[in-house]
Structure 1
Amino acid sequence: MTGNNRDRHGVGQKRFWSNASVIAGPHGYTVTLDGKPVRLPGRASLRVISKPLAEALAAEWQAAGADNPAKRFGPDALPLTRIAGAMIERIEPHRDHAVATLAGYGEYDLLCYHTGDDKSAAARENEMWHPWLNWLRERHGIDLHVTTGIMPVVQPAAVKKGFSGLLGEKSDAELAALGVAVPALGSLVLGLAVTEGSLSAQDAVNIASLDERTQMQRWGQDPALLDHVAVVAADVMDAKRFIMLATAQAD
C-alpha cells in the first residue's frame, strides 16, 4: 500500500512524501500524501468514514520512514492501513466470503480443544477457557461442543448458522478487525469478545497462549514461542485499536 508509488518487488518502499494529511469529502475522509490520495494495492483510495480513524491512519503514514528516509520500510510500519485496506478492497466487495471464513474459525475454535492427559493443564484450561464459552452462549446463544485431544469435534449445525448470522450483522470495520484478531488468536470466541469490548486485547492473548506459556513454565523460555506470542499480541492490539477508532466519534 503506497501513496502513488507501489513497490513491485515486495521489499518495502522508501519515503517519498513530506506530509500526510486528511481531506474531508462527501464519502468520508481520505488520507493523502502531499495532497495525493494514498492508493491501496487494488488502486482504491484510502478513505474511511471515521475521522478519528482517518487521522490515525495519516499519523501512521507521517511516521513511516521518518527516522531514515533513505531506508525502506515494510507493511509492519502501517498496521492500521493494512486493516483498512482489507476492509476497503476485500471485505466491502466480498462480505459473504469474509463472513464464511470467520464463521469457519468458530467451528474449530481453540477453546473447544482441551488437553486430555495433563490434569494440571486441563484445570487451567477449564479456568481460563470455559468462562468465554459461557459468555458466547449467554450473550449470543451459540453453544460450542468441547473435546479433548486433537481429533476434530463436529459442531451442531446451529453453531455455523449462529456464527453466520452474528457475523452478518457486523460492520465492515468489525469484520476487518476480526479478520486480524481471529486468525492470530485461533479463536472466533475470543476475537468477538475483544471487538465487542468484553475482553481486553492482552487478556485475550494470555488466554489464547495458555498452552505456550504452560510449555515454557515446564521446559524454560523458548525464543520462538516468545516471538510468536509477541506477534499475536501486536496483531490483536492493532485490531482492537482499529475498531475503537472506527467507531469513535469525532470531537
Structure 2
Amino acid sequence: MSILKPKRFWKEATPEPVENGWQVALDGRPVRTPAKRLMVLPTQELAQAVASEWDAQEAEIDPSVMPFTRMSNSALDKVAVQHDAVAEMLAEYGGSDLLCYRATHPQALISRQADAWDPVLDWAAQNLGIQLQVVSGVMPVVQSQADLTQMQQLVQQLDDFRLAAFHDLVSMSGSLILAFAAVRNFSETEYIWQVSRVDETWQAEQWGVDEEAAAQAEYKRQEFLHAKRFFDLSSPA
C-alpha cells in the first residue's frame, strides 16, 4: 500500500525575522513543526537553509531530503521539552567512550588506535578539562567523578538546537569526545568521522567489505556531516 505524500501548495519559501529568532514562511504562512509549534530558528543562516529545502520540493513534499527541517523539528518537539534528560543521556556516553577501549591484539591495530585516538584524548584533557582513562579489552573502566561531572556540565550548556545536532554526532560516532572534537573544530569533520571508524576500517581490510554494512556506514557518515553543519548554522556569529 503506497503512502500519499503531501502536495506542494506554496510558491515561495522565505526566511523572516521574528521575535527571538527567524522563521520560514510559505507564501507568508509560517512553518510549524509536526507538534504544531511555530518553527522559530536561532539564526538567519539556519532559516535560509530550511527555506532552501522547502523551495527545492517539487510536486510532492519529501521529508527524506529535508535534513535541516527534520532536525529543527526534533530540536523543538523533542529536545526542547526534555533538554536535561537528553543532555544526561548523551553525557553518559563519556563514561564508556569509544576512544577508551583498545584492542589487545594484533599490534598493528593497537598502534592504529593509539595513533588515531590518543591525540583526541590529549586534546580533550587540554581543552575540555576531561582526562579519561584507557583500558585494553572490554572490561569496563570507571572514569573519575570529576570527569563525569565535567562532561555533564559541558553537554548541559548546549541550547536545544545545538543539543539536537550534538545528539547525532554522539550517536553516529559512538563517542562523546569525538562529538566535542567536531563541534570545537579539533580537525576537519570528515577526518573526525574516519577516526570513529578505525575498528570498522580494520575489519574491512582484513575480511573484505560487507555491502550492507558499508551502506549503513555511509548513511551514518552523511548524518554525522549534516549534524556538524546544523550545529554550525545554529550557532550565532
5 Å-filtered alignment, 1:99-118, equals 99-118=87-106
1:58 counterpart (26, 29, 51) = 51
DSSP 3-state at the match of 1:47: coil
1:36 counterpart (9, 29, 34) = 29
For residues 138-195 of structure 1, give each alpha carbon's deviation from its aligned partner in whole angstroms, at most 9, with x where no partner exists: 1111111112222322222222201011112223332121011110000110111111
Distance 2:216 2:171 in 1: 13
1:125 counterpart (106, 113, 138) = 113
DSSP 3-state at the match of 2:5: coil
For residues 31-60 of structure 1, give each alpha carbon's deviation from its aligned partner in whole angstroms, at most 9, with x where no partner exists: 122322222122112211201110111101
- Relative to structure 1, the CA distance from residue 97 to residue 12 in structure 2 (aligned partners, 3 Å threshold; closer, same or farther) is farther
Distance 1:197 1:190 in 2: 10
Q: Unaligned stretches of 5+ in structure 1?
A: 1-8
Distance 2:106 2:75 in 1: 41
5 Å-filtered alignment, 1:77-96, equals 77-96=65-84
Higher mean C-alpha displacement, 195-204 vs 32-41: 32-41
Preserved contact between residue 166 and residue 231 of structure 2 (Cα < 8 Å): no
Q: Does 1:227 align with 2:215?
A: yes
TM-score scaled by structure 2? 0.92
Q: Which residue of 1 aligns with 2:125?
A: 137
Preserved contact between residue 107 and residue 160 of structure 1 (Cα < 8 Å): yes
Q: Which residue of 1 aligns with 2:197?
A: 209
Distance 2:201 2:134 in 1: 21
5 Å-filtered alignment, 1:3-14, equals 13-14=5-6
Distance 1:199 1:239 in 2: 15
- Relative to structure 1, the CA distance from residue 31 to residue 96 in structure 2 (aligned partners, 3 Å threshold; closer, same or farther) is same
How many residues are aligned here?
A: 236
Distance 1:219 1:192 in 2: 32
For residues 50-71 of structure 1, give each alpha carbon's deviation from its aligned partner in whole angstroms, at most 9, with x where no partner exists: 011101111011113x2xx25x
Distance 1:110 1:195 in 2: 17
Q: Which residue of 1 aligns with 2:167?
A: 179
Identity %: 29
Misfit runs of 4+, over 6 Å: none
Q: Which residue of 1 aligns with 2:12?
A: 19
Distance 1:94 1:229 in 2: 29
Distance 1:101 1:116 in 2: 29
DSSP 3-state at the match of 1:48: coil
- For residue 10 of structure 1, report the CA deviation from its aligned partner: 11
Measured on the aligned residues, the alpha-carbon RMSD in Å equals 2.0
Distance 1:172 1:12 in 2: 32
Q: Unaligned stretches of 5+ in structure 2?
A: none
